Amino acid sequence: MNNPSLPSRRRFLGAAATALGASAFPAGLRPALAGQRSAPPLPLADLAPPADPGEDYWWKVRSQFNIVDGMAFMNNGTLGPTPRVVADEEARIYAEIQADPTNGYRRDELHERRKIVADFIGAEPDEVTYTRSTTEGMNIFGLGLDWREGDEVLMCTHEHNGGIEPYIHARERHGVQIRWVDVPVPPESVDQIVSIYEDAIGPRTRAIMVSHLTYVTGLRMPIRALGELCARRDLYLTVDGAHPLGMIPLDMGDLQCHHYAGAGQKWLMAGTGTGVSWIRRDTMGEVWPLIGAGTYRVDGERRFREDSRKYENTGQRHVPSQFALVKSMEFQNVIGRELIASRVRSLSDRLREGLSEIPGVKLWTSMGDELAAGLTLFSVRDLPMENIQQAILDEDRVFIRTMSTGNLNAVRASTHIYNMPHEVDALLAGVRRIAANPAAAM
């Protein structure tokens, strides 16, 4: 987004804003700062939910984010705000390393914490790799296989560049072919999606690359069913899981895929430069490290590690961010992953049901939970997406993003645990106003 009137990410650092004073921010945001609540970070144990959590509990969760009051932020599908306890953890590790750099890598501590990461995604610790992004994880697998000229990979037209581009490189370097499949928006059923991929499989198809939740329309792909298809046809299944990590509970064993890469900065809200990659233990021997590192000495000879750490030794890493990743998982574990999924589902259902009732609104995201989750894409009377985004920001103080992939002209909203029902209602009110008087948004 290049519009200078839109708020930059730093405007959402509410605590810092209070310290700097309102003069440090554009005039349009100053009224929100006046009501900024400054709640101290709570110990994780204090965030444990009651037996029947209501809105008071979710306000308690909300208080642990430095989001400026009066601003409803609905774009954690790009970058989520970080809970205070997670930001504090990153700052603590950074300060410790600066005070005493003798153990700046913290390898043993991070390796011990690998079990927390593994448990969070239903995996074994030696299958889990700390990464800097989903893109890094997708490259580990996509460029790590021994491709042969003429090998084919299937992917749909709504994949993210982070998943596509490893196979562009494989095409240019090794002659790999990419076969594109078109999935309807929205699709009719899981069976329809699986049939589309199965019909596209050819004699040289070697892998399917698919997003668990497409960043474009928020379609929730049937990963387990696609995994069963790949098992029947002896194909690899590699999954771009940028969005589900921190949004819905994950169990790698249940998904039936060979590889899964997730982001830390989106729904997990761990901050930038964080991510997780998982490769199934029986597949790891077929995937080379992305960078020429990760070896150890055996009888004077250099050998690759036989676990996931062979994909991690890529040079200097920002160690505090990796600690923040683990702390974000501990934060979500206290709240409960099933409870988080339920809250995300409740808010997104509220939004989609409201949008479906507004004349002039086209909903691109499926209504059913089986094919949707926390991302919602919609357009309003074919109005320019930038106009819709700006009008809702100016009048309703709700921040959403535009979506122009392919020939789309739409806007996308993310609804997460720091969002409140009244913020969803504010977005709906803005959409109703624009749909009723589209000329005002031109």
Sorting pLDDT into bands at 50, 70 and 90, what band is 16? very low
pTM over 0.75: yes
Q: What is the mean pLDDT of residues 261-280?
A: 98
Q: Residue 39: its pLDDT value, please?
A: 66
Q: What is the mean pLDDT of residues 81-88?
A: 96
Given a cut of 50, whether residue 164 has pLDDT beyond it is yes
Q: Residue 40: its pLDDT value, please?
A: 74
Q: What is the mean pLDDT of residues 282-294?
A: 87
Say if strands 259-263 and 275-279 run parallel, antiparallel, or are unpaired: antiparallel
Cα–Cα distance, 442 to 11 (Å, whole number):
26
Q: Which residue has the tokens 């109703």?
A: 432
Question: In this predicted model, what pLDDT tens digit does every residue of 221-247 receive, in sequence order?
Answer: 999 999 999 999 999 999 999 999 999
Sorting pLDDT into bands at 50, 70 and 90, what band is 31? very low
Q: What radius of gyration do the chain's Cα atoms show?
A: 22
Between the alpha carbon of residue 336 and those of residues 59, 218, 341, 405, the distances in Å are 16, 23, 9, 34
Q: What is the mean pLDDT of residues 409-428?
A: 98
Given a cut of 70, whether residue 352 has pLDDT beyond it is yes
Domain boundaries, the chain: 9-82+336-441, 88-333
Question: In this predicted model, what pLDDT tens digit does every residue of 379-408 receive, in sequence order?
Answer: 999 999 999 999 999 999 999 999 999 889
More confident call, 35 vs 399: 399
The answer to which of 305-319, 354-368, 381-395 has the lowest mean pLDDT is 305-319
Q: Which CATH architecture best describes the domain 88-333?
A: 3-Layer(aba) Sandwich (3.40)
With pLDDT > 70 as the criterion, what percentage of the chain qualifies?
90
Q: What is the mean pLDDT of residues 321-334?
A: 98
For CA atoms 419, 421, 424, 430, the dihedral sign is negative
**Domain 9-82+336-441 of CATH type 3.90.1150.10:** yes
Q: Residue 293: its pLDDT value, please?
A: 66
Cα–Cα distance, 178 to 85 (Å, whole number):
43
Q: Tokens at residue 129, please?
A: 């790799």
More confident call, 341 vs 71: 341
Q: Residue 11: its pLDDT value, please?
A: 34
When the pLDDT of each residue in the chain is averaged and rounded to a whole number, the result is: 90
Prior bond of 49 cis (ω within 30°)? no
Q: Residue 10: its pLDDT value, please?
A: 32
Given a cut of 60, whether residue 36 has pLDDT beyond it is no
Given a cut of 70, whether residue 147 has pLDDT beyond it is yes
Given a cut of 90, whether residue 102 has pLDDT beyond it is yes
Given a cut of 60, whether residue 81 has pLDDT beyond it is yes
Q: Residue 294: its pLDDT value, please?
A: 62
Sorting pLDDT into bands at 50, 70 and 90, what band is 315? confident
